[in-house]
Amino acid sequence: MKSEIEIIEEVTRFVKKAMQDHDSGHGWSHIERVVRVALHILDCEGRGNRQIVELGALMHDVGDHKFAAHDGPAEIRRVLGGLGVSHEVTEEVVNINENISFSKGKRPATHSIELQIVQDADRLDAMGAVGIARAFNYGGFKGNEIYDPRVRITDPPLLSGASSNSVSTVHHFYDKLLLLRDLMNTGTGAKLAEERHDYMVRYLDQFFREWNAGTDM
């Protein structure tokens, strides 16, 4: 029987390796931040199962495009099953993996406290200074413009759920990033989201000031 600490260590090794083998390793620091923030939210909230939160955060992106394997639930069941993790804990981790994403996040199958916590931590990492860096990094990877002034920014966005197809990275703020503050599940997440949201608003204000510099503003 492996101890909980050994299980976390083995899963950490698995996730790190699966991400490194697939992509240039970019993704791992996101996972580390999500684990840390999720555990912080768990401690502040004083509810939720620590093992489920930690495994759920570590494995929340298993199966997505950052990973070598594409069937997240099957991969999670294989890895956790091999480590002797109980069926109940494994299915909670699968529930987090299947329901964390923005588009599916509106009506999760089981809205467990552990899913709520990991989802808040994942969304927080898309906000604030780190979120801005991730957005421009992703936009660059996709070959998108930083901003396309020909397409009017609509508030609320024209196509909800179309956020991964945003016409430019600045549009992505209006399609997704500025909506996240009001989607926080936990009180702790909501508190952390305030500062990151306000920072993005100030960033966009400065961005447009510079973009329009020299015109009649």
Nearest Cα to Cα of residue 129 among 203, 57, 186: 203
**CA gap 114, 97 in Å, rounded:** 11
Nearest Cα to Cα of residue 202 among 194, 213, 190: 194
- Give residue number: closest CB to Ni ion: 122
Q: What are phi and psi of 168, to 5 degrees?
A: -150, 170
Comparison of 95 and 153: residue with beta carbon closer to Ni ion: 95
Percent helix, strand and coil across the chain, each to the nearest 5: 65, 0, 35
**CA gap 184, 196 in Å, rounded:** 12
Q: Residue numbers of the site for ligand ADP (CB under 6 A)?
A: 30, 61, 122, 126, 131, 134-135, 138-139, 163-164, 166, 169, 172, 176-177
Comparison of 172 and 181: residue with beta carbon closer to ligand ADP: 172
Comparison of 2 and 31: residue with beta carbon closer to ligand ADP: 31
98 lies in the binding site for Ni ion (CB under 5 A): no
Binding Ni ion (rule: CB under 5 A), the pick from 61, 75, 98, 114 is 61
Q: Which does 128 bind (CB under 5 to 8 A by kind): Ni ion, ligand ADP, none?
A: none
Comparison of 60 and 85: residue with beta carbon closer to ligand ADP: 60
Integer angstrom CA distances of residue 123 from 42, 144, 160:
15, 22, 16
Judged by CB under 5 A, the chain residues 102 through 121 that form the site for Ni ion are none
Interface residues with Ni ion (CB under 5 A) are: 61, 122
